[in-house]
Amino acid sequence: MILFLMSRGFRRLRQKGSHVVMESEEGRVTVVPLHRGKMLGTGIMKAILKSAGIEEDDLRG
């Protein structure tokens, strides 16, 4: 998810523990949990995309 957001113009703003705060060029901020070896749940992914202002279809294709 972090690499996907970076490809969409987000940059890593800061990290505290297992949460990475990312910011877009337009100033949108979203938090991505970073738990090594675990997949993000569907609900978390949808919430991240919504806060980032990205359509779900953009992730799929």
Q: What is the CATH number of the domain that holds 56?
A: 3.30.920.30
For residue 58, what pLDDT is reported?
87
State how many domains the chain has: 1
Cβ pair 50, 11 in contact under 8 A: no
Closest CA to 8 of 30, 31, 25, 21: 25
Secondary structure E strands in 1-61: 11-16, 19-23, 29-33
Closest CA to 2 of 30, 26, 32: 32
Domain containing 38: what range?
A: 2-60
For residue 59, what pLDDT is reported?
83
What whole-number distance in Å separates Cα of residue 10 and Cα of residue 29?
9
Q: What is the pLDDT of residues 2-51, one digit of tens each?
A: 999 999 999 999 999 999 999 999 999 999 999 888 889 999 999 999 99
Q: What is the pLDDT of residues 44-58, one digit of tens each?
A: 999 999 999 999 998
For residue 36, what pLDDT is reported?
84
* pTM, two decimal places: 0.88
